[in-house]
Amino acid sequence: MKNEILVKRYAQGLVNSVKDEAEFLALWREISAFSELLQSHKELKDALSNPLLPLSKKQKIAEEILAKESAAEKTLRFVLLLVKNMRVALLPEIVKSMPEVWNEKKDISTFEVASVVPLSHKQKEKLQEKLTKLEQRAVSLKYRIDPELIAGLWIRRGNIVYDVSLKGSLMKLKERAAER
């Protein structure tokens, strides 16, 4: 829970420093690339997270890598902030949450939609219309496949879940049966 709060705060701070969509996309790409680099090079990730390594050395390592990537000043400052605060391990989750935080800033609700099979274009449009009407504002939908649902949909926005799947219905039936 604590990490979720930290991730959200770092993502919000970064997103609030962005002025437009183009800058957001460029920043998100650079930070994503740095995060992927850390995930693929365990030694680098360990070095930047090592509390015994002097901060100046960790900052120099990060600066050199980002300079080779021609990263923007904002990207550099953000990564150095994470290094300084010993929060490099949060970077993958920050990257993952940035689009949702960006949408919130633009007053767009983000929903995660899970289904057993890919939805058709027409089904996606209809779902988008219904959720836009429900939210009374623009919505962004992220789709994923979840074979465990058996049938139906599972929709989540933040902490709110709409489970209209066969799996969810069976779980509710099981709970009712256990109560008796």
Q: What distance lies between CA 123 and its chain's CA centroid?
A: 25
Asked if 162 and 176 count as a contact pair (C-beta separation under 8 A), the reply is no
pLDDT for position 129 = 87
CATH of 2-103, picked from 1.10.1200, 1.10.730, 1.10.520, 1.10.150, is 1.10.520
Is the pLDDT score of 163 beyond 80?
Answer: no
Please report which confidence band the pLDDT of residue 172 belongs to, taking 50, 70 and 90 as the band edges. low
Asked if 80 and 64 count as a contact pair (C-beta separation under 8 A), the reply is no
In this prediction, what percent of the chain has a pLDDT beyond 90? Answer: 5
DSSP code at position 180: -
Place of tokens 């980002």: 66
Whether the predicted model's global pTM rises above the 0.75 cut: no
Residues composing the chain: 180
Domain boundaries, the chain: 2-103, 108-179
| Type of residue found at 12 | Q
Concatenating the DSSP letter of every residue in 94-125 gives HHHHHHHHHHHHTT-EEEEEEESSPPPHHHHH
